[in-house]
């Protein structure tokens, strides 16, 4: 046994976030920590790495009790963490982020050559093709997540906490991470693994501990669980089919793109989306899925091609123009670009459509409040009130606020980029139902997701991209995980030749 936690409790403003929680982790095991958002997992992990101090309970690491340890002490003892919300410094390089505060020095000066060499070794171990001297702000979310994983590995920890480590990774990168985890196990490193992806849990975990509403529910060998029994234990109820059948009637074409091209990103992309349809966009990291979506919505330029909206050719130069046409966009990084953390639920929900509530240059507060109240009700957003800051909501409820902000503009097309990234299975089920409800109302959905079961469960058709090229359009029985992966790994020519 490397780690033992007994009767751990923590309260915030009199509200119990954790109540008598237990955890026992063996050397070299993968121990999954499961629970819905709000179950107490994040508070628990923050205590383990020294960001928070418990109100009661005992933590024993490697046979010695830990008392009031801070983050640096935990790192020195051998406990490291990969955070779900990436903790990187945008203006520093990849290598500088990996070894921040632990840079190799020569004569008191940072040895840049050695720093880059050590970073390259770690990135090579991860199978990541990134230059160590590139600035973090130029990397995608997935690339930044891989750098964060490399940083944790650099600490030579004996216990590594991984909080949603694959949320932005492609299947190939996930396979590489799993190989690294198995290697770490053989070296005696214990992994505390937090994920909402059931397939990952049953692939990796030796043991599973379930928390619900801050309470310890159970610890059992992973082999004693099924996906349904684990979900039921997490949420305290049966969820049934995660992907309810769609009864939407397909209507006229809402969006068509023909020959969309931006050299170095994507080339000759052609597809259409009809009213009431979910068109899935699949591909590995670097395939160009997000780049295509951003170009359609006016966030990024494109060099060639034509975009038709409701049958008319359009040139969208900005998100404002896209919203005015009837488009909505929910990006992959909700905290980075989806909402304003310091603003209330109400003000985030109405932020993109304030002109609807303008009266003689002023916002009509009553109308704004009524609209926000209706969205909270329609989307079942769990909040203490309209004035609660969004940053204090669970991930699933934050995502519903982002979607609600888009819906307030009454779009006929919504682009959803990784809409369930980092949210629990209960919240996923609600997002899936919401997508069905939207298509039933005739709204067209362009869905980007790295989770193949999600794409297969929700999409009418699936467009597959590989290295900026469109390689397939799949529908019905043609679309399987194997077929998607086959086409996702195909390309006619290198992206550099576009």
Residue-wise DSSP of 409-444: T--SEEEEESTTTT--HHHHHHHHHHHHHHHHTT-E
What's the CA gap between 88 and 94, in Å, rounded? 9
Element (H, E) at 122: helix 112-126
75: Cβ–Cβ under 8 A, 6 or more apart, which residues? Answer: 155, 157
What's the CA gap between 266 and 361, in Å, rounded? 42
Could you identify the residue written with the tokens 């310890």?
216
End-to-end CA distance of the chain: give it in Å, rounded.
54
E strands, 35-181, in order: 56-61, 64-65, 79-82, 105-106, 109-110, 159-163
DSSP for 283-335 reads --TTSSHHHHHHHHTTSS--SEEEEEETTEEE---SHHHHHHHTEEEE-S-II
DSSP-assigned beta bridge partners for residue 220: 208
What's the CA gap between 149 and 160, in Å, rounded? 10
Global pTM?
A: 0.63
Element (H, E) at 456: helix 452-458
Alpha-carbon torsion (197, 26, 37, 335), positive or negative: negative
Task: Report, in angstroms and rounded to the nearest whole number, the Rg of the chain calculated over CA atoms.
Answer: 23
- Domains, the chain, ranges and CATH? 3-235 (3.40.50.300), 253-497 (3.40.50.300)
One pLDDT digit (tens) per residue for the chain, 498 residues: 999 999 999 987 677 889 999 999 999 999 999 987 668 888 899 899 898 999 999 999 989 888 877 888 888 888 988 876 667 788 999 999 999 888 889 898 989 999 999 999 888 877 778 899 999 988 877 788 778 878 888 877 899 999 888 876 777 778 878 888 898 899 899 999 998 788 899 999 999 999 988 899 999 999 999 988 888 888 776 555 677 777 788 999 999 999 999 999 999 999 999 999 999 999 877 789 999 999 999 999 999 999 999 999 999 999 999 999 999 999 887 777 778 888 899 998 988 787 888 777 787 888 889 989 998 988 888 888 899 988 888 778 888 899 888 888 889 999 999 988 777 777 788 889 889 999 999 999 999 998 888 898 899 999 999 989 999 999 877 888 888 888 887 644 333 333
pLDDT, residue 4, reads 95
From the DSSP assignment, how many helices (H) and strands (E) are in the chain?
Answer: 16, 24
Helix (H, G, I), strand (E, B) or coil at 199: helix
What's the CA gap between 26 and 54, in Å, rounded? 22
What's the CA gap between 100 and 477, in Å, rounded? 49
């Amino acid at each position: 046994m490397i780690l033992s936690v007994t009767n751990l409790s923590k309260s915030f403003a009199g509200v119990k976030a954790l109540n008598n929680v237990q955890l026992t982790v063996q050397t070299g095991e993968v121990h999954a920590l499961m629970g819905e958002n709000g179950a107490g997992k994040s508070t628990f992990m923050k205590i383990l790495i020294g960001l928070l101090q418990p109100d009661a309970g005992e933590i024993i690491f490697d046979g010695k009790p830990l008392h009031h340890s801070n983050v640096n002490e935990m790192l020195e003892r051998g406990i490291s963490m990969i955070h779900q919300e990436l903790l990187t410094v945008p203006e520093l390089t990849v290598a500088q982020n990996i070894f921040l505060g632990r840079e190799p020095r020569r004569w008191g000066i940072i040895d840049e050559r050695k720093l880059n060499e050590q970073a390259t070794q770690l990135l090579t171990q991860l199978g990541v093709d990134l230059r160590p001297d590139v600035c973090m702000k130029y990397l995608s979310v997935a690339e930044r997540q891989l750098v964060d994983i490399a940083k944790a590995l650099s600490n030579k920890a004996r216990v590594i906490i991984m909080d949603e480590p694959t949320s932005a990774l492609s299947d190939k990168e996930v396979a590489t991470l799993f190989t690294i985890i198995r290697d770490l196990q053989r070296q005696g490193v214990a992994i505390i693994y937090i994920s909402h992806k059931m397939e990952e849990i049953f692939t990796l975990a030796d043991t599973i501990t379930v928390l619900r509403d801050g309470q310890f529910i159970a610890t059992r060998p992973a082999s004693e669980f099924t996906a349904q029994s684990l979900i039921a234990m997490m949420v305290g109820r049966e969820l049934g089919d995660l992907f309810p059948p769609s009864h939407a009637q397909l209507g006229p074409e809402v969006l068509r793109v023909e020959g969309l091209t931006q050299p170095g990103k994507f080339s000759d992309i052609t597809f259409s989306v009809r009213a009431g349809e979910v068109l899935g966009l699949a591909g590995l990291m670097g395939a160009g899925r997000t780049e295509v979506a951003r170009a359609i919505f006016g966030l990024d330029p494109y060099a060639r091609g034509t975009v038709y909206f409701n049958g008319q050719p359009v040139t969208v130069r900005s998100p404002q123009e896209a919203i005015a046409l009837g488009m909505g966009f929910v990006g992959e990084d909700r905290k980075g670009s989806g909402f304003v953390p310091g603003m209330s639920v109400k003000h985030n929900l109405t932020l993109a459509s304030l002109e609807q509530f303008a009266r003689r240059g002023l916002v009509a507060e009553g109308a704004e409040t009524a609209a926000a109240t209706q969205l909270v009700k329609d989307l079942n957003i769990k909040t203490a009130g309209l004035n609660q800051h969004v940053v204090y909501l669970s991930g699933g409820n934050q995502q519903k606020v982002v979607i609600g902000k888009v819906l307030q503009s009454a779009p006929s097309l919504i682009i959803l980029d990784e809409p369930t990234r980092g949210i629990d299975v209960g919240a996923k089920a609600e997002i899936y139902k919401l997508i069905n409800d939207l298509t039933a109302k005739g709204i067209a959905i362009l869905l980007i997701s790295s989770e193949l079961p999600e794409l297969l469960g929700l999409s009418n058709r699936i467009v597959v991209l590989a290295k900026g090229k469109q390689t397939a359009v799949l529908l019905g029985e043609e679309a399987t995980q194997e077929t998607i992966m086959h086409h996702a790994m195909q390309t006619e020519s290198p992206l550099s030749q576009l």
